[in-house]
């Protein structure tokens, strides 16, 4: 029987081993007992980190232009974070939160609450982004139950969104390729269009008019479903992996916030990728002028030094639960892990003390300018977009018609493999448009990046793109 799990353009793990290393890597692959993410592929073995570089066992240095998957915002060898982890490990690594609170947990919650949008001053900690989305969805449900509205069961989300790979988070997301094999296990979210101006804004429409059209469609979907049945709406404030660094058009989120309020629907903003300074403010929603009821963070929170995620809950959500049943019916063994929290405290302090979000605001436009200069007229680059240090190039077969490459061209995989060969980590994905076609490559470098690294990044990306599209020079 043929497998229903298809190799997909989204599956950018298809890294042929870098030339020269393949023999050894294949040997390692055969010997490995790890159930790897891409078990058929050889991977270089990462052995060290040095600032914005990852170093493999052969000594090859990779410029980390994507912070892995928008994680390593402080690079790979931040001394203060390393010291904080060492100190905490000597003091207390873990104490189960059903028995104790702990100092780094309290300090982290206080630090985050002090800088979060007003009212979001209770923080629930978990071990990563998917877990944080699960917690947010369960909080939303319990809130509605505690308020005496148990008929509110439906999650609304946007097509081609990504909120994580656990079953609840996957069910909430609209990424068709990731969902497909698991569809029978997933509850059905009510889906609406993403805010994706490059492809969906009509030529005669202003950005504001496009946002308004989406907001009207959003309201119509709620009315059609029965507003009293809708529990929450979840969206990435700036779309990350699936669409590729896509901010909303001006005014869109304010209209969404109003509509959610009108119908008693909780607004969950997923800032797992775009939050924690990545787009130029600690929380991406600060730039949208909205405050969600639940705000989900991860990735940059621990900067890869420890696995950690969190949900900020608005006071009314916290009060409804504490004043109702009295507790949130949830919890994981590693919630509020002392070592993870200590690392995240050190990351937060580094962001603040080293003014790294200022650096995001400075380097983001510098990188954007370099990308536009180098690739703005490239025949296969249709769009260059993003915010802060979350940027992406969308690749097209025909610029004017914005025609995507066929899925069989495996453009995203080829970009990723070629980049690794050139000593560059970027974050390409395929299936951008509908789960099948559409390719982008995202850049999300560490916030400590310097101008010389931007030059190196753009040079290596140009070599990568030249190798993938050798006929581009003729078409210019």
Ligand X SMILES: Cc1ncc(COP(=O)(O)O)c(C=O)c1O
Binding site for ligand X (CB under 6 A): 69, 128-130, 133, 162-164, 236, 240-241, 270, 272-273, 298
Alpha-helix runs per DSSP H in 122-206: 129-146, 167-172, 176-179, 197-200
Closest distance between ligand X and the C-beta of residue 123, in Å?
A: 17
Closest distance between ligand X and the C-beta of residue 133, in Å?
A: 6
Strand order in the sheet with 381-387: 381-387, 390-395, 439-443, 427-430
With tokens 């119908």, the residue in question is 263
Nearest to ligand X of 116, 444 (CB atom): 444
Nearest to ligand X of 163, 257 (CB atom): 163
Nearest to ligand X of 130, 279 (CB atom): 130
Closest distance between ligand X and the C-beta of residue 21, in Å?
A: 27
**184: CB partners within 8 A, 6+ apart:** none
Contact 264, 149 (CB under 8 A): yes
Nearest to ligand X of 22, 187 (CB atom): 187
**Closest-approach residue to ligand X (CB):** 129
Nearest to ligand X of 68, 324 (CB atom): 68
CA nearest 196: which of 244, 258, 255, 253? 244
Cα-Cα end-to-end distance for the chain? 46
DSSP 254-301: HHHHHHHHHTTPEEEEE-TTTTTTTTSSSSGGGGTT---SEEEE-GGG
Closest distance between ligand X and the C-beta of residue 309, in Å?
A: 6
Nearest to ligand X of 108, 454 (CB atom): 108
Closest distance between ligand X and the C-beta of residue 282, in Å?
A: 16
CA–CA distance, 356 with 448 (Å, rounded to integer): 7
* DSSP element (H, E) containing 191: strand 190-192
Closest distance between ligand X and the C-beta of residue 228, in Å?
A: 28
CA nearest 300: which of 310, 292, 290? 310
Closest distance between ligand X and the C-beta of residue 253, in Å?
A: 15
For residue 400, give the DSSP letter.
T
Nearest to ligand X of 138, 352 (CB atom): 138
Closest distance between ligand X and the C-beta of residue 300, in Å?
A: 11
**223: CB partners within 8 A, 6+ apart:** none
Nearest to ligand X of 170, 381 (CB atom): 170
Alpha-helix runs per DSSP H in 155-206: 167-172, 176-179, 197-200
């Amino acid at each position: 029987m043929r497998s229903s799990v298809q190799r997909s353009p989204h599956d950018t793990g298809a890294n042929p081993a870098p030339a020269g290393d393949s023999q050894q890597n294949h040997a390692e692959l055969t010997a490995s007992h790890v159930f790897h993410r891409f078990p058929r592929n050889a991977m270089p073995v990462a052995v060290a980190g040095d600032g914005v570089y990852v170093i493999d066992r052969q000594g090859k240095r990779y410029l980390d232009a994507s912070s892995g998957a928008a994680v390593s915002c402080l690079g790979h060898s931040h001394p203060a974070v390393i010291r904080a982890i060492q100190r905490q490990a000597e003091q207390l690594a873990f104490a189960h939160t059903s028995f104790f609170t702990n100092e780094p947990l309290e300090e982290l919650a206080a630090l985050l609450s002090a800088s979060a949008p007003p009212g979001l001053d209770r923080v629930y900690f978990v071990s990563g982004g998917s877990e944080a989305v699960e917690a947010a969805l369960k909080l939303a449900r319990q809130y509605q139950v505690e308020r005496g509205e148990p008929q509110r069961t439906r999650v609304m989300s946007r097509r081609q969104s990504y909120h994580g790979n656990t079953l609840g988070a996957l069910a909430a997301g609209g990424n068709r390729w990731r969902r497909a094999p698991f569809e029978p296990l997933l509850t059905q979210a009510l889906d609406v269009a993403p805010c994706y101006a490059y492809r969906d804004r009509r030529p005669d429409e202003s950005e504001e008019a496009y946002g308004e059209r989406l907001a009207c469609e959003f309201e119509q979907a709620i009315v059609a479903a029965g507003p009293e049945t809708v529990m929450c709406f979840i969206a990435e404030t700036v779309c990350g992996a699936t669409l590729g660094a896509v901010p909303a058009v001006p005014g869109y989120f304010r209209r969404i916030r109003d509509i959610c309020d009108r119908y008693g629907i909780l607004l969950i903003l997923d800032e797992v990728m775009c939050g924690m300074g990545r787009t130029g403010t600690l929380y991406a929603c600060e730039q949208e002028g909205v405050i969600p009821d639940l705000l989900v963070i991860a990735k940059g929170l621990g900067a890869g030094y420890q696995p950690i995620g969190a949900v900020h809950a608005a006071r009314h959500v916290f009060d409804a639960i504490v004043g109702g049943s009295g507790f949130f019916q949830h919890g994981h063994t590693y919630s509020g892990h002392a070592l993870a929290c200590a690392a995240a405290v050190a990351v937060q302090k580094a962001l603040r003390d080293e003014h790294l979000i200022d650096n995001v605001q400075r380097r983001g436009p510098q990188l954007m300018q370099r990308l536009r200069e180098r690739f703005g007229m490239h025949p296969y680059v249709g769009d260059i977009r993003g915010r802060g240090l979350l940027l992406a190039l969308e690749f097209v077969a025909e610029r004017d018609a914005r025609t995507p490459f066929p899925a069989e061209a495996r453009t995203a995989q080829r970009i990723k493999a070629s980049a690794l060969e050139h000593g560059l980590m970027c974050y390409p994905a395929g299936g951008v448009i509908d789960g099948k076609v559409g390719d982008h490559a995202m850049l999300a470098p560490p916030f400590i990046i310097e101008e010389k690294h931007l030059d190196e990044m753009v040079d290596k990306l140009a070599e990568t793109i030249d190798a993938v599209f050798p006929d581009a020079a003729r078409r210019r």
